[in-house]
Structure 1
Amino acid sequence: MAVSGEAAETATDTATSIEVDTGTRYQRMLGFGASITDASAWLIRKKMTPEQRLALLQELFGRSGNGIGLEFTRLTIGASDFSRHHYSLDDPPDGRPDPQLQHFSIAPNLDDVVPVAREALRINPRLQVMASPWSAPGWMKDSDSLIKGKLRPEYYDAFARYLLKYVDAYAAEGIPIFALTVQNEPDYEPADYPGMRLNAPARARLIGDHLGPLIAQRGKGPLIFDWDHNWDKPQEPMAVLSDPAAGPHVAAVAWHCYGGEVAAQSPVHEAFPGKDAYMTECSDGTWEPVLSGGLPLQARELIVQTTRHWARGVLFWNLALDEKGGPHAGGCDTCIGVVAIDSKTGAVTRNNGYYALAHASRFVRQDAYRIASTATADDGLDNVAFQNSDDGSVVLIVVNSNPQPRTVAVSQQDRRFNYTLPASSVATFRWTPRPRHL
């Protein structure tokens, strides 16, 4: 079988065995990608020439040539920390409550996020777009501000309608939103950028009594993903999924990587096997252990382990930031985009997140199944396998986190090969299995 790389001559008995079993299937994949934040879209639109912009978007979302085929992205509903200023999509001039949403407008997105997302969809019509709010409009909150505070219960209905007005406005711009979360990181109130605390009982009431029934009446989606926060509090999504009113309206749990361990995804899946899992945010950055862990750390945690623990899709955070990790208005000043765009020249630098994503997105296509493969994490080798639905090809991603080269002996049916991975490296193998003979 053809392999992306040359087979090593190392003897099999010195290698770590990985057996791939196409007969055992797990979740069906939606895709890999990163978020088109306000900062990302603004840089792509305003700091690149048309030629640079098209080349970058074709590389990120296309499959021909050097395209890495990203098929999943996330947008922010209103401002996040990676916006140039703070805003919601319903900011009345007088600051007074607007429960009828007469001042709702996506005008702040029309010059950057909308055209970039639309162009990404033109390049890859299979691109799946989800969206998350960082805060309800300030007038809906007990803080009367985008900063901190909780959603007032009397505005649950207005907020549900606000989210669906966003979905419909984006659909009118040619950008279908297939899924929503009701709040980014609902267990955190940042001090200097939009955020909102929305605990499990509040999310259950918002979803069960308002947003879920509204979507059911529409009969056309979007899906609702709960949580959109870290691995360290799995009891939060469990509580919403257990709620008799909210649970039936929730399609999946969305996870972030900044606290806890990725294994937390599996007990939630086992308790609610009918609900999907997604990794919806994790940022590259200049902090430890991300800085020293580099590419192997990101590939191991965010590609291999998230999917081994049932994630159907994986999203890194900012698709693009500038050479200083911006622009941003509060929040993270040590984050790095999947790519960096030089704000003076438009030149592109590809960061570790780019290569971690590309090892999966370039080879694992939408609707592929994760399939069984021998777990090898105890010796610093991690792997995950998939089988594409379109052509039957098998993809195996192997991460070597060791400071020394390591050899793997891969088998699938009667096919075998050895390969030596360099120290601290990632390798992707792709082959077409022989047909089974009855």
Structure 2
Amino acid sequence: MKILKYSVYSLFVLLMLSCNENQDKLIVEVYETSASGNQLKMITERVSGDQASIIKILPNETYQTITGFGGAFTESSAYLLNKLSQANRDTILKAYFSKEGARYSLTRTHMNSCDFSLSNYSYTPVEGDKNLEHFSIEEDRDDLIPMIKDALAVSEDGFKIFASPWTAAPWMKDNNDWVGGKLLPEYYDTWALFFSKYLDAYKAEGINIWGFTVENEPHGNGNNWESMHFSPKEMTDFVEFHLGPKLESDGYGDKIILGYDQNRAGLKEWVDEMYRDEASSKYFDGTAIHWYESTYDYFPEALQYAHNKAPNKFLIETEGCVDSQIPKWKDDAWYWKKEATDWGWDWASEEEKYLHPKYAPVNRYARDIIGCLNNWVDGWVDWNMVLDKQGGPNWFENWCVAPVIVDLDTDEVYFTPIYYTMAHFSKYIRPEAKIIGLENSDDTLMVTAAQNPDESIAIVIFNEGEQTKNIKMSLGEKSIDIQISGQAIQTILIPIKNQ
């Protein structure tokens, strides 16, 4: 009888210890993409070890509200989708927009043609048509509009779309050319009307445009493909005195206007001018940036400056891609190796070539997105969603890489590691999430964290090194031991049941 009593007591103690242990344990879901072959794989093993890196999540420290993550609808991508089998077309759109896929929430498209179009075209082909009586989006009907509509049909959550012009029609410009030149002052009102007409036309197609960037790359692109130059003052004057008032008077005052839309090193002079006074600030809802200034630097000082200049405005990365490269077909290893080069490898000035070394595409994406999120950026948009094995089609032969590569000859689809890298953010950090604070004891790991509207928390960790790392992650009094592979990106999802 005494033995039984002690046995029952011992069992009670063990149960209490087990309950206390479970109460102290953080419940998580872990997903990993790695150079060793994981593709957003759920990791269920929990390995504790010595010399663990400490990551402490601080949900009471809140920063910017997330607008979204995604990619761009281009004529090139839409054309390729139309050439694939219906099954593969559906597979790609579901991979990007369904709940089972990457759940893209913020997207971009182009107004008139861009470098990733099949040819030069404008919605305003009739010279001297100041009132745009011949405005037409007919060029978009075969490819671009069907792709957007099909994506909207797949997406249960919906997504925001902003549009960007590369250039006005040549007849509106001082050089009468698709490339370079400036908008003639006598066409400022016509060009403002162009934006309003575009909204009308897409609305008639059942597509709601969330907003605009005023001009893609206003510094130009080395006079290679469609472009139109603005100085900071010229763009600000156009928005304050023409575009903003026109949209307002036409009932589109709620549409988002993002200024700048080029590399980060030039941010200071642009935001200083855009937000020069209350009158100009009224019409700018935020600032758009690209990443092409460097293959490794995300320019935190510039991002901090832009945020501090306009803390209540959007700060969105609107374009980034692996440029000046032909994609590697079904070679996952290449995307993790420092072999890619960008435009600056060949063309940057000697004093800036150091910013453009060989790099690993996955590393560049992961570093930049995490660096942006930790420095007030609220949205991050990739460039083309789909390209072919050449890195096109592209009328200028400006080859680039996309997360999804297709072979039209064999009707094959390749989801590159870049696709999974994007999904680590877009799938788990949802619109209206708040970036939250954290403490990270290991400066070789890049980490960001966000609390979603449903109160779940998503933490993204990037381990650029080749060594596996042990991590002890804590939230309040609870903790969990996690292991991240070398050359890996992980998303740790903490469900609301931990709260």
Interval of TM-score (by shorter of Structure 1 and Structure 2): over 0.9
Rg larger in structure: 2
Which of 368, 373, 376 is equivalent to 2:438? 373
Q: Distance in 2 between matches of 1:30 and 1:272?
A: 16
On the 8 A contact 1:76/1:131 being kept in 2, the answer is yes
Gaps spanning 5+ residues in structure 2: where? 1-26, 31-42, 326-339, 342-355
Aligned to 2:373: 307
On the 8 A contact 1:384/1:398 being kept in 2, the answer is yes
Q: How far is 1:87 from its partner?
A: 1.0
Verify: 1:337 aligned to 2:374, yes or no. Answer: no
Aligned to 1:347: 412
Q: Distance in 2 between matches of 1:367 and 1:53?
A: 30
Q: Give the 5 Å matches for 1:167-246.
A: 167-220=199-252, 221-234=254-267, 235-246=269-280
Identical aligned residues as a percent: 29
Match of 1:311, SS? Answer: coil
Verify: 1:9 aligned to 2:48, yes or no. Answer: yes
Aligned to 1:248: 282
Match of 1:268, SS? Answer: helix
Match of 2:29, SS? Answer: coil
Aligned to 1:294: 361
Aligned to 2:166: 134
Q: Distance in 2 between matches of 1:190 and 1:344?
A: 34
Aligned to 2:94: 58
Verify: 1:320 aligned to 2:386, yes or no. Answer: yes
Verify: 1:281 aligned to 2:319, yes or no. Answer: yes
2:146 partner letter: P
* CA deviation map 1:137-185 (0-9, x unaligned): 1111001111110111111110011012112211111111111011000
On the 8 A contact 2:48/2:470 being kept in 1, the answer is no
Residues 1:162 and 1:375: Cα distance change in structure 2 (over 3 Å): farther
Q: How far is 1:246 from its partner?
A: 2.2
1:282 partner letter: G
Which segments of structure 1 move beyond 4 Å, counting only runs of 4 or more? 433-436
Q: Distance in 2 between matches of 1:27 and 1:16?
A: 26
On the 8 A contact 1:41/1:113 being kept in 2, the answer is yes
1:257 partner letter: W
1:169 partner letter: A
2:28 partner letter: A
1:201 partner letter: K
Q: Distance in 1 between matches of 2:445 and 2:255?
A: 38
1:271 partner letter: K
Gaps spanning 5+ residues in structure 1: where? none
Q: Please give the TM-score of this superposition, normalised by the length of structure 1.
A: 0.93
Q: Give the 5 Å matches for 1:398-409.
A: 398-409=461-472
* CA deviation map 1:65-113 (0-9, x unaligned): xx11111110000111111101111112xxx321111221100000100
Which of 105, 112, 119 is equivalent to 2:150? 119
1:151 partner letter: L
Q: Please give the TM-score of this superposition, normalised by the length of structure 2.
A: 0.82
1:306 partner letter: C
Residues 1:241 and 1:352: Cα distance change in structure 2 (over 3 Å): farther
On the 8 A contact 2:196/2:250 being kept in 1, the answer is no
Aligned length: 424
Q: Distance in 2 between matches of 1:170 and 1:424?
A: 43
Residues 1:291 and 1:346: Cα distance change in structure 2 (over 3 Å): farther
